[in-house]
Amino acid sequence: EAGVAQSPRYKIIEKRQSVAFWCNPISGHATLYWYQQILGQGPKLLIQFQNNGVVDDSQLPKDRFSAERLKGVDSTLKIQPAKLEDSAVYLCASRFGPGTNEKLFFGSGTQLSVL
């Protein structure tokens, strides 16, 4: 079974530049999450999609972050403009669920460095 695919793996940009991350969840997974993980901290939920609809984006800094999930499959997360404090690993995860066999699958993440 193919896993959650994310790209790019690494990205280095200067502050005030724009950046986009891409996620392809496991086929058939309706729920998709984007998390921000700063070094040494727990993943912070940015946005949750159910198919192509947003379920929760309460922690998304909407003045600079945006995300979409066209056709309920792939998703992109964009930062414009980036700040130094955006340096983190951005994780995408997907889930089939619900039910007792549900399980969250994580991608390898995109490590963003803002200089």
Binding stretches for other proteins (CB under 8 A): 31, 33, 35, 40-45, 48, 50, 55-56, 91, 95, 97-98, 100, 102-104, 106-109
Residue reference for tokens 């198919």 = 51
Amino acid letter at 30? A
Could you tell me which residues come within 8 angstroms of residue 89 by beta carbon, excluding any fewer than 6 positions away? 36, 37, 39, 109, 110, 111, 112
Q: Which is nearer to other proteins, 17 or 52 (CB)?
A: 52
Least CB distance to other proteins at residue 85 (A):
17
Q: Which is nearer to other proteins, 85 or 102 (CB)?
A: 102
Q: In angstroms, rounded to a whole number, what is the distance separating the alpha carbons of residues 6 and 35?
A: 12
Q: Which is nearer to other proteins, 24 or 31 (CB)?
A: 31
